[in-house]
């Protein structure tokens, strides 16, 4: 008897350009489907950490990322299957415009389509075989919308555009004209959203404010999106489109399987080393697969909030991911006990893995406000956004990488750190103009840089980190509290 693989119904929410309303539509759609009794698996194309936080609130399960640039094309379908386990439908939010991705060729006449749009929404939709629903900001459109849709329909016929959602529609007359334009090119309308400023999510210098920071406000915002979208969308039509997905699920990615070539027997439960992972409002950026891999490599993962906690008892390793330390600098600086814990931890040779905001927090100060002081570097916040993928090489051995190992990562920040000449950088790469650049700091115990790397792409490095962590552990003083006294 032959077993036929199941194809989890899925729909990809895309747009002609950024700012069309994808996040609002995706979050509200996930919430509306959940309210209708569906078990929804949420995903985001690209390296974004913030949107998946809102997806998670709406879905009641982790939001996950699908990024061929960070993990490679071959891992996308397995990661999708892993994240879809137990769901009856998946909703994938795209990135930027439908065909916008990483350009890997500088030749404007390049004919090879693989050289353009790597990691685009269209690319990911093609890999998983899911139909696309196009969210169109209709505020400035009328009959010419038909020409726009015709262009998207014909640009790459391997991408199936199943329908459109018209956003920011003005009047009933405007809606009628837009529907006529869609009918002219044979594209179904799956929903109409009127102009409504209450549907916007507050933002600041790096985009939307993370759901973890807004807590109750985020829950209320998601509930509002859900209510609006439930009434505005044709949910049965969207579900029917999702069932048109034409590629069966791949074998799901597994943290245990990914680590198997590198793990030489997991420790017994009683000897699993404790890895403290920073969370709370200041450190909200992280991939769900990270803690899954740390546990699969043999660690006990314990969350702590640097705004108010100390390191958990028996902490043997620390992970501090991305976030917004500049928004919480006063509280971070006031937690003197945790700052002392981290300095003692590093001084004892216990490993720390820090990315982006984690790098800034390990600095001595940020704009003259105290940080942890683990590293003798200074950070400053400025107006310039640093953004993009980096093909990086490790410059020296560390608790994660060996000299010469290569990764593709992503950086996204407005801060800078000022590193002395005596420090050893973590990474080197060439910028968009071919000039050499370095990033981060490596010491015997610390690997810290601005570069975000997806954990599924670096199983050997994560196993190396857990192995180093497991070699010994640091015990908190017996009179210490796990909470800071402010």
**Catalytic sites, residue numbers:** 356
Cα separation, 235 vs 228, in Å, equals 12
312-347-399 Cα angle (round to 5): 80
- Maximum Cα interatomic distance, the chain, rounded to a whole number of Å: 74
Q: Which of 138, 145, 211 is nearest to 169 (CA)?
A: 138
SS3 166: strand
HSE value, Cβ hemisphere, 13 Å, CA-based, for 449: 30
Cα separation, 313 vs 307, in Å, equals 17
Cα separation, 416 vs 360, in Å, equals 8
DSSP 434: S
96: left (phi over 0), alpha (psi -120 to 50) or beta: left
Dihedral over Cα of 62, 462, 392, 107: its sign:
negative
- Beta-bridge partner residues of 7: none
**Residue-wise DSSP of 327-388:** GSHHHHHH-HHHHHHHHHHHHTT--EEEETHHHHHHSSEETTEE---SSS-EEEEEEEEEEE
370 C-beta neighbours (distance < 10 Å), count: 17
Q: 76-80: list long-range contacts, CB under 8 Å, 24+ apart.
A: 76/124, 76/127, 76/128, 77/127, 77/128, 77/247, 77/249, 77/250, 78/250, 78/251, 78/252, 78/253, 79/253, 79/289, 79/456, 80/10, 80/43, 80/128, 80/249, 80/250
Cα separation, 463 vs 355, in Å, equals 17
Cα separation, 235 vs 226, in Å, equals 12
Please, where are the H alpha helices in 108-254?
Answer: 121-128, 145-155, 172-184, 211-214, 216-232, 235-242
The CA-atom distances, in angstroms, between 306 and each of 94, 214, 248, 341, 443 are: 32, 17, 43, 11, 22
Cα separation, 297 vs 267, in Å, equals 9
E strand or H helix at 80 = helix 76-84
């Amino acid at each position: 008897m032959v077993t036929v693989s199941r194809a989890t119904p899925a729909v990809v929410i895309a747009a002609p350009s950024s700012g069309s309303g994808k996040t609002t539509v995706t979050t509200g759609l996930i919430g509306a489907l959940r309210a209708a009794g569906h078990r929804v698996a949420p995903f985001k194309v690209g390296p974004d950490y913030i949107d998946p936080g809102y997806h998670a609130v709406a879905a009641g399960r982790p939001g996950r990322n699908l990024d061929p640039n960070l993990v490679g094309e071959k891992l996308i379908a397995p990661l999708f299957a892993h994240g879809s386990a137990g769901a009856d439908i998946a909703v994938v939010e795209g990135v930027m415009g439908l065909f916008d991705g990483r350009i890997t060729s500088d030749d404007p006449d390049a004919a090879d389509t693989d050289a353009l749009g790597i990691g685009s929404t269209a690319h990911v939709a093609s890999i998983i075989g899911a139909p696309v629903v196009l969210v169109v900001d209709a505020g400035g459109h009328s009959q010419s919308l038909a020409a726009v849709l015709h262009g998207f329909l014909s640009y790459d016929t391997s991408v199936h555009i199943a329908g459109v959602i018209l956003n920011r529609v003005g009047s009933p007359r405007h809606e009628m004209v837009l529907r006529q334009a869609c009918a002219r090119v044979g594209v179904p309308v799956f929903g109409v959203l009127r102009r409504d400023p209450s549907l916007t999510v507050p933002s600041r210098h790096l985009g939307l404010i993370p759901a973890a920071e807004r807590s109750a406000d985020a829950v209320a915002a998601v509930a509002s999106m859900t209510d609006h979208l439930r009434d505005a969308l044709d949910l049965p039509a969207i579900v029917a489109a999702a069932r048109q997905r034409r590629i069966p699920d791949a074998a799901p990615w597994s943290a245990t399987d990914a680590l198997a070539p590198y793990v030489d027997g997991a420790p017994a439960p009683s000897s699993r080393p404790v890895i403290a992972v920073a969370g709370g409002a200041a450190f909200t950026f992280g991939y769900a697969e990270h803690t899954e891999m740390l546990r699969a490599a043999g660690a006990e993962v314990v969350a702590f909030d640097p705004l108010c906690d100390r390191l958990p008892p028996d902490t043997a390793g620390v992970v501090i991911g991305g976030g917004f330390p500049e928004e919480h600098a006063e509280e971070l600086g006031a937690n003197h006990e945790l700052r002392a814990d981290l300095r003692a931890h590093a001084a004892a040779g216990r490993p720390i893995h820090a990315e982006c905001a984690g790098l800034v927090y390990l600095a001595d100060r940020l704009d003259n406000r105290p940080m942890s002081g683990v590293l003798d570097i200074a950070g400053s916040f400025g107006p310039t956004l640093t953004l993009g993928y980096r093909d990086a090489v490790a410059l020296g051995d560390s608790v994660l990488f060996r000299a010469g190992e290569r990764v593709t990562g992503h950086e996204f920040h407005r801060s800078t750190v000022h590193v002395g000449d005596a420090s050893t950088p973590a990474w080197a790469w060439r910028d968009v103009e071919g000039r050499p650049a370095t990033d981060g700091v490596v010491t015997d115990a610390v690997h810290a840089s601005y570069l975000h790397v997806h954990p599924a792409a670096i199983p050997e490095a994560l196993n190396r980190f857990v192995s180093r962590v497991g070699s010994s552990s640091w015990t908190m003083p017996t009179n210490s509290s796990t909470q800071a006294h402010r």
